[in-house]
Amino acid sequence: MNGPRLAITMGDPAGVGPEIIVKACRRLMPRLAAGELSLLVIGHRANLEAARALLGEQLAFPAMGVGTQPLAMLSAGEETGPLAFGRTDPEAGRFAYLAVEAAVRLSKEGVIDGIVTAPLNKEALNLAGYRYAGHTDMLAALTGVPSSTMLLAHGDMRVTHVTTHVALEDVPRLLTAERLRRTIDITYRAMLDLGIDRPRVAVAALNPHAGEGGLFGRQDAEVSAPVIAQCRAEGMDIDGPVPGDTVFVKLRGRVYDAVVAMYHDQGHIPVKLLGFDLDPVSGQWKALSGVNITLGLPVIRTSVDHGTAFDIAGTGKANEDSLIEAIDYALRLAAVKRARALAAH
């Protein structure tokens, strides 16, 4: 098997993670058999088996290190039995942490080429004693980096953020030249890492109509524009500030390869609008696809762009498309990384 080896961490075993993993692995079996990739599932064995039984799936998940199967399973810790689906449980939070911890260790050791994460439950994680806001903070701590950047992706829609989980009133203060430049640089490098030779990146305006000459705010003219001009002078194809009401239309039209958004909702809404749909039968919103990629880590990490969905966990209704797209993005990143390493030698 010559393809990259990825770890899929189960996230919260009481959520939809086990189910979407089983479904995704079934759909990927032709590619696994062809040697395009191999997968190591890390998490809670009993809940993975419960999901497999629920779905009537015969797919086997042999223990890591047994044979040369392209699909394997590593239990993240000692198990006492299945955990109830759809419930907040500190034990589930413990396994969510242990799975990521094991994946980071294996990545550092070169055993795997990237990490794909299924969703965790923040309350369960904290009840287990791990004081993190989620995967991003946890991965930064485990890899020893001071900060990281979120890239949301749905197909060719790719968006990073200058700020994320802060109050809207704090965004203008946090929009500094240094923070914006760092976000542009890391976004540009990410596009190169995805195999895009000449990335075209747009910077979204903070204010309506990019401030309209100062009538609606001066941040776009006084902070963003000089940074963009400096990037262009260095040979980067950076456009902006582009008004927020048109920049994502242009992104969807492939005028750009990525957009740097100013704040959480500015970037999340357009991506999630395309990545979710209303099921006409159940009347419930379902995740079709969408990926969260963490930039700035020494390891490759992609993730589904949805939560644990406790309301449908254990019912067989969860959609695996987002997980498959996350795997595909991790494969692209791993392939470029491998090619660069070979070229260097």
With contact defined as beta carbons under 8 Å apart, do 289 and 273 qualify?
no
CATH (residue range 149-270):
3.40.718.10
Taking residue 110's Cβ as centre, other Cβ atoms within 10 Å add up to 8
Instruction: Return the C-alpha torsion angle 107, 111, 117, 120, nearest 10.
Output: -80
- pLDDT for the residue 325: 92
Instruction: Outline which parts of the chain fall under CATH 3.40.718.10.
Output: 5-148+296-344, 149-270
Identify which of 119, 192, 189 has the alpha carbon closest to the alpha carbon of residue 148: 189
- What pLDDT score does 343 carry? 83
* Rounded Cα gap, residues 18 and 291, in angstroms: 18
CATH T-level topology, domain 5-148+296-344: Isopropylmalate Dehydrogenase (3.40.718)
* Block residue for tokens 């039984």: 53
**pTM of the predicted model as reported, rounded to 2 decimal places:** 0.89
Q: What does the H/E/C string look like for the chain? A: CCCCEEEEECCCCCCCHHHHHHHHHHHHHHHHHCCCCEEEEEECHHHHHHHHHHCCCCCCCCECCCCCCCEEEEECCCCCCCCCCCCCCHHHHHHHHHHHHHHHHHHHCCCCCEEEECCCCHHHHHHCCCCCCCHHHHHHHHHCCCCCEEEEEECCEEEEECCCCCCHHHHHHHCCHHHHHHHHHHHHHHHHHCCCCCCEEEEECCCHHHHCCCCCCCHHHHHHHHHHHHHHHCCCEEEEEECHHHHHHHHHCCCCCEEEECCHHHHHHHHHHHHEEECCCCCCEEECCCEEEEECCCCCEEEECCCCCCCCCCCCCCCCHHHHHHHHHHHHHHHHHHHHHHHHC
- Rounded to 5 degrees, what are φ and ψ at 83? -100, 145
Output the tens digit of pLDDT for each of the chain's 345 residues: 578 999 999 999 999 999 999 999 999 999 999 999 999 999 999 999 999 999 999 999 999 875 568 999 999 999 988 999 999 999 999 999 999 999 999 999 999 999 999 999 999 999 999 998 889 889 999 999 988 888 999 888 999 999 988 999 999 999 999 999 999 999 999 999 999 999 999 999 999 999 898 899 999 999 999 999 999 999 999 999 999 999 999 999 999 999 999 999 999 999 888 866 655 666 655 555 679 999 999 999 999 988 999 999 999 999 899 999 999 999 999 999 888 888 887
